[in-house]
Amino acid sequence: MKRSYKNLFPTIFLLTFTLLNFSSCKDKEEVLPPEPDAQVKINTWIKDVMDQAYFWLEDMRTPIAIKSEPEKYFESLLFRPTDRFSVIYPDYQELINSLQGVSKEAGYEIILARESNQNNNVIAFVTYIKKGSPADLSGLKRGDMITRINGARLTLENYQELLSQRSEPHSISPFRFDQATDEFVAIAHIDLTTLELAENPNFLDTVFTINNEKIGYVVYHFFAPGTNNAYDNEMDQIFADFKAEGINHLILDFRYNSGGFVNSAINLASLIAPGVGENDILSRVQYNSFLSGFDDFKNVTRKFKTKSQNLGPILTDNRVYVITSNRTASASELIINGLKPYMDVFMVGDVTVGKNVGSIPLEDEDNPDNKYGILPIVFRDANKNGESDFANGFIPNIGAREITQKWLLPFGDTNEYLLKTTLNRILGNPPIDEDARIQLIDRINVGSSLDSKSRFGLIIDNETDIKSILKLK
């Protein structure tokens, strides 16, 4: 049984907005701000929402002038640097579409590193390709190295600007590793078109049978249920197959999973924690002092689901293995933290982002001229035991960084660095540093195209109803 890349298809949706390292409007034509009177209405709505929903209510800053641009006004309220994640978007519906994995792109993701500490050049490694995308059809592969976009050499000074050009037709100058010569060799220049794609987060799953051990392996890129829960249902089937195969080890590959919807996290956790059901607590949710004054927001818990596909007690030592990176965040960390009271969670990779707080997407339903959507931090999650102290990230049991590989092997290749490190632990083999076949390079990580995804670092609860509460003040 093996699936890979899943069902990815073109669809007509709106363009994903970027955040964090890249401006949310960078990939679009410049949009003129609303007129001053309209800005006052928008900012008044923002302030009213924040005065009631913002998690750090007592620490909210004094706002700038009410006639300011909404993005600047919203930012002025935030409790920085503690609040690393609250964001505002020019269009609410575009935000919702993008959180479901829809974006205008060529269909490839990259991770970036310094070429050398002796110069400012940046190199980009292709991390994965989306099936049916222009990048897939061009023959681009995971592990290919890119040094130029639209003819310009990537450097520390320009790489963000060059990455922003990837949402439109562009060209790349790739290199591919040649094992025979032990070096990267230039391949044909590639011109890429872009289209709007709906990405299935269920990227790959398979079962390895090694030395009489059956190891289920699933690569999951973000938490989204899909239309009519198609992606969650597909995950249910993956675990039904794992259960039927009689796996005795499970590896969750969350290296690129930086967040998404709470319900999909609950669904996945319910397939893993042994024998859990709707009466068992996955997490406890804390709101601010205002919301906590309402009965519906006191002692809130998120419960597991009862799933026939739940693995039960079949995992050896009641342990699940999780592959992490410095982009494993939010909903992924909710899974890690929520499973800890129920089983041993063994992590391999890099320190995670450290996000124990989440958001509810909010729009101004009373003002059709206000297209803005905001994702303020609204709640904090703890596990069944009330533990939520991972703001600095989870430290893995075995440290390993993907970017230190000489080149990136395909997902599912048992010699791929992070997977091999995990398999060695399961099988009792010597660690990687004793394996002469693995050549590691001390590279300085610069960033990733994943940092620009709207879902990066988000736990999204789109079902908790606070809109009626927000109208009461």
Question: 430 in helix, strand or coil?
Answer: coil
The angle subtended at Cα 200 by Cα 196 and Cα 201, nearest 5°, is 125
Q: What's the maximum distance between 2 C-alpha atoms anywhere in the chain?
A: 70
CA nearest 305: which of 272, 261, 260, 350?
Answer: 272
Distance CA 335, CA 269 (A): 6
Write down the pLDDT at residue 465. Answer: 79
Query: Could you please report the per-residue DSSP string of 146-207?
Result: EEEETTEEPBTTTHHHHHHGGGSSEEEEEEEEETTTTEEEE---EEE--EEEE--SEEEEEE
Distance CA 461, CA 261 (A): 6
Q: Where are the alpha helices (DSSP H) in 36-186?
A: 36-53, 70-77, 92-99, 134-138, 159-164
Write down the pLDDT at residue 96. Answer: 81
The domains located in the chain, with CATH, are 204-356+380-439 (3.90.226.10)
pTM: 0.88
Write down the pLDDT at residue 18. Answer: 32
| CA dihedral sign of residues 187, 9, 14, 199 | negative
Write down the pLDDT at residue 138. Answer: 97
Mean pLDDT by 10 residues, the chain (473 residues): 40 31 41 72 96 97 96 98 93 83 90 92 96 95 97 96 94 95 95 93 97 97 94 98 98 95 96 97 97 94 98 98 95 97 98 94 93 95 96 96 92 95 95 68 89 71 80 62
Write down the pLDDT at residue 28. Answer: 43
Cβ 456 vs Cβ 260: under 8 Å? no
